[in-house]
Amino acid sequence: MSLALHQQFNEALSRAKRPVIVLKAVPTIDDFAAAFSVRAFLFKMDTPCDIVTQGGRAPDALKFLPTFTDVRGDFQNINALTIRVNVDHAKVDGLSYVVEGRDLVITVTPKTGAWKNNDVRVACNDYRYDLVIVIGAPDRASLGALSTNYADFFLRTPTIAIDYGPENEHFGTVNIVDLTATSVSEVCFDIFNRLDPSLVNETTATTLLAGMMSKTKGFRTPNVTPKTLEVAQKLMEKGGKREEVVEHLYRTRSVETLRLWGRALARLKSEESIGLVWTLVTRQDFITAGATDEALRDVVDELLSTSPHAKVAIVFSETTDGRVTARLHATRPFDALAIGAPFRPTGTREVALLSLHDTDIVAAEKAVVTHVKEKLSH
């Protein structure tokens, strides 16, 4: 008899010595909250765990959570290369290395005797992580550069995929995809509650509540169901601090963030007939406002609340090194990845990060907006 999904989850974790949680390239607050809750669960099992996402930074808005932790932007020391040299025919006198172009050249000098080619053996050690927990990603491609740079690792390592979207491709060894949920935090609550209700304490309840409230905009999105509200009620009964979540996610904004929002909203442009809004944020805007890229996370929510007719929103911004990025957000039935296809997008159908190279922000705006207008007009 096959195990239930939550039992498969627990079985996979019990076998792992060093799991890693991986989020999509453009993660949401909901994704981070779910990741923090799973990491806290693993620590109760005395199992260390890292969280990795292409962006490499968790939102400051979640720093009030006791479960908050640093997030890595790449895998570190994921495996090692071992070089074995037979010293029967020669004794080692010295070892040195140098990087020549794309090659690492290692030189071992014999004190006496000489080596032959068959005296040297090279092997790649096992990967550092023995289980991957992918949270909130519909497929491996949505993990961005991680999926391409470490393709062999993902293929060889057992994977648990946790999600709630119908577009999920069930790419994991174990797939926990709840189509009745409205957030991945809600899915994680169901897992914990089925395994052992006592796993959800006050800290975990507040973390999951933050994820659910962020994803549903305070339970105001059209897809909120009675089940979602029931889960929220259970979390509050377990000590989830709703008012604290509201305070940090919606009421607490730094002066710097508000300044940047003001500049973004001042440049707001729209095409109401096709449900499109967009804006530009220059590097000078960041400097003038005294804000960081973190402040951009909620700009889209402000754009959409200011323009309730909008179905697609785009924020163009300049990075510190002069590159231009564009975050494209789409609501159903639109697909951000499909709309932004010519610009090599990474992300999901809800949020896609477009690749814009060798261009300035004005030219990028023209190219992307022209394309999007054409897509939405058909």
Task: Quote the tokens at residue 198.
Answer: 């006592």
Q: Do residues 192 and 44 touch, judged by C-beta distance below 8 A?
A: no
Q: What's the angle, vertex CA 126, arms to CA 122 and CA 131, rounded to 5?
A: 160
- Residue 329, helix vs strand vs coil: strand
- Residue 343, helix vs strand vs coil: helix
Region 312-325: mean pLDDT is 84
Residue 371's CB is within 10 A of a number of other CB atoms, namely: 15
Task: Quote the tokens at residue 199.
Answer: 């796993």
- pLDDT for res 1: 41
Q: How would DSSP label each residue in 87-138?
A: -SSEEEEEEEEEEETTEEEEEEEEEEE---GGGEEEEEPPPS-SEEEEES-S
Instruction: State how far the Cα of 39 lies from the Cα of 32, in Å rounded to an integer.
Output: 10
Q: What's the angle, vertex CA 364, arms to CA 360 and CA 366, rounded to 5?
A: 125
- pTM comes to 0.83
pLDDT tens readout for residues 37-81: 999 999 988 899 999 998 778 888 899 999 999 999 999 888 877
Q: How confident is the model at residue 171 (pLDDT cuts 50, 70, 90)?
A: very high
Q: How confident is the model at residue 213 (pLDDT cuts 50, 70, 90)?
A: very high
Handedness of CA 170, 172, 173, 178 (dihedral sign): negative
Region 5-10: mean pLDDT is 87
- At 199, give phi and psi (nearest 5°): -65, -25
pLDDT tens readout for residues 102-161: 888 888 888 888 888 888 888 777 889 999 999 999 999 999 999 999 999 999 999 999
Q: How confident is the model at residue 377 (pLDDT cuts 50, 70, 90)?
A: confident
- pLDDT for res 302: 65
Question: String of b and e for 228-246 (b: at least 16 CB within 10 Å)?
Answer: beebbebbeebebbbeebe
- pLDDT for res 181: 95
Q: How would DSSP label each residue in 6-66?
A: HHHHHHHHHH-SSEEEEE-SS--HHHHHHHHHHHHHHHHTT---EEE-TT----GGGTTST
In terms of C-beta density within 10 A (0-12 exposed, 13-18 middle, 19 or more buried), how is residue 9 classed? buried
- pLDDT for res 301: 66
The chain-wide mean pLDDT, for the chain, equals 88
Instruction: State how far the Cα of 34 lies from the Cα of 24, in Å rounded to an integer.
Output: 13
- pLDDT for res 305: 63
* Contacting residues for 352 by C-beta, under 8 A, at least 6 apart: 26, 327, 328, 330, 336, 337, 339, 340, 345, 346
Is residue 235 predicted with pLDDT exceeding 60? Answer: yes
Question: String of b and e for 321-341 (b: at least 16 CB within 10 Å)?
Answer: eebbbbbbbbbeebbbbebbe
Q: Give the chain's domains with CATH numbers.
A: 5-75+128-248 (3.90.1640.10), 81-124 (no CATH), 255-376 (3.10.310.30)
Among all chains, which residue has been given the structure tokens 């610009």?
A: 343
